[in-house]
């Protein structure tokens, strides 16, 4: 770990843990019940929906950082309310995000029933294998499902889950990665097709969504956390991570935030905390694990962490979160939803480790 005395003043272990408690406590007490789609329709959230499920890896992070059983109990309560089940759509990565927390709870408690829904969901996919670009065709999906596949192999010893994930992962990466920018398209609507029919930013640039690329950054961290040290393709994940992070830091705003649109930041100039949290998670994780050069990347993390602290309201509400979308959109100070808190808590856990 980096010695605390060598860290910039913005980093303080006690403050990071205090912010984790504030954000986690507020979000647990004020879970998002619904949100309004752009069409005007209301989406009412179920416990297994990704918008809620992304919060709970953050709850588990808060438990690890504080060793306070109230956070472990909150995750157990949520899992029980879901009957430890996955979401209703087969093969749909968003409906598998909840597996990550179920498996983290299994790691803590070793109760076999905690792995059953994950095994059933992933076995269904392996019994009828499809290319990654078909099952994981949008960049968000790389955060939602693959870490759970790696975790399931780590916790059961059954290699088939990791091997299936690895095969699907790299096919999806090949499909969504843009070698000209080293960034990720969200989905096929944004991939240049040679006919000029792809969606573009108003300034003519390719569309690279901040949170979308943040999902991939954080996904790599969470997958690698559960790969064997001698896994044959481990270095490929780290090489992808370093390439992506080198591109990402060049697009950070002077105020420490990344915007919703990475190549047209003025289209939505307001701060965006969910993308910034996910990138900060990657920066702190990379520095903590010796994957990113500390001297090169610490300034970006310093600015990002200082920016994120301004997004936490006095009562603990995490603000400036871009609401659910598949592309860049506006954010406001009062915008809050469960996954925004979850992303911040993942970043804060790594910052706390940096300061320990």
Residue numbers annotated as active site: 140
Which residue intervals of 191-293 are DSSP H helices?
210-224, 234-249, 273-288
CA pair distance 7, 337, nearest whole angstrom: 31
136 neighbors 93 (Cβ within 8 angstroms) = yes
Cα–Cα distances in Å, from 193 out to 134, 188, 190, 261, 333? 18, 9, 9, 20, 37
Read out DSSP for 112-146? GGGGHHHHHHHHHHHHS---HHHHS-STTHHHHSH
Closest CA to 222 of 336, 85, 347: 347
CA pair distance 318, 306, nearest whole angstrom: 14
33 neighbors 336 (Cβ within 8 angstroms) = no
- Please give the DSSP secondary-structure letter assigned to residue 206: B
Q: Is 42 helix (H, G, I), strand (E, B) or coil?
A: strand
Q: Which two tokens stand for residue 282?
A: 């990657």
CA pair distance 323, 326, nearest whole angstrom: 10
Task: Say what the alpha-carbon torsion angle 30, 61, 318, 313 is, to the nearest 10 degrees.
Answer: 100
Q: Name 134's Cβ contacts closer than 8 Å, sequence gap at least 6.
A: none
260 neighbors 209 (Cβ within 8 angstroms) = yes
């Amino acid at each position: 770990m980096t010695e605390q005395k060598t860290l910039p003043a913005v980093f303080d272990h006690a403050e990071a843990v205090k912010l984790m408690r504030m954000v986690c406590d507020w979000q647990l007490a004020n879970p998002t019940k619904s949100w309004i789609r752009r069409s005007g329709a209301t989406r009412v959230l179920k416990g297994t929906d990704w918008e809620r499920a992304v919060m709970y890896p953050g709850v588990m992070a808060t438990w690890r950082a504080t060793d306070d059983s109230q956070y472990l109990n909150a995750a157990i309560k949520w899992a029980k309310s879901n009957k430890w089940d996955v979401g209703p759509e087969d093969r749909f990565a968003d409906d598998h995000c909840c597996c990550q927390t179920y498996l983290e709870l299994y790691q803590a408690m070793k109760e076999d029933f905690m792995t059953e829904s994950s095994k059933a969901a992933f076995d269904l996919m392996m019994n009828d294998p499809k290319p990654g670009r078909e099952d994981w065709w949008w960049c968000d999906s790389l955060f939602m499902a693959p870490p759970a596949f790696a975790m399931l192999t780590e916790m059961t010893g059954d290699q088939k889950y990791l091997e299936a994930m690895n095969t699907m992962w790299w096919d999806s990466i090949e499909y969504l990665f843009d070698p000209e920018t080293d960034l990720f398209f969200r989905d096929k609507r944004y991939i240049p097709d040679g006919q000029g029919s792809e969606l573009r930013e108003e300034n003519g640039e390719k569309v690279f969504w901040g949170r979308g690329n943040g999902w991939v950054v954080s996904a790599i961290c969470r997958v690698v956390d559960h790969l064997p040290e001698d896994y044959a393709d481990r270095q490929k994940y780290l090489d992808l991570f370093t390439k992506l992070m080198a591109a990402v830091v060049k697009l950070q705003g002077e105020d420490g935030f990344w915007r919703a649109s990475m190549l047209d930041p003025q289209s939505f100039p307001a701060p965006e905390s969910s993308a910034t949290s996910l990138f900060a998670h990657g920066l702190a994780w990379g520095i903590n694990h010796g994957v990113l050069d500390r001297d090169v990347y610490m300034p970006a993390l310093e600015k990002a962490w200082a920016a994120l602290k301004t997004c936490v309201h006095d009562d603990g509400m995490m603000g400036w979160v871009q609401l659910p979308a598949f592309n860049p959109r506006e954010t406001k100070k009062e915008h809050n939803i469960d996954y925004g808190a979850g992303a911040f808590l993942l970043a804060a856990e790594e910052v706390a480790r940096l300061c320990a």
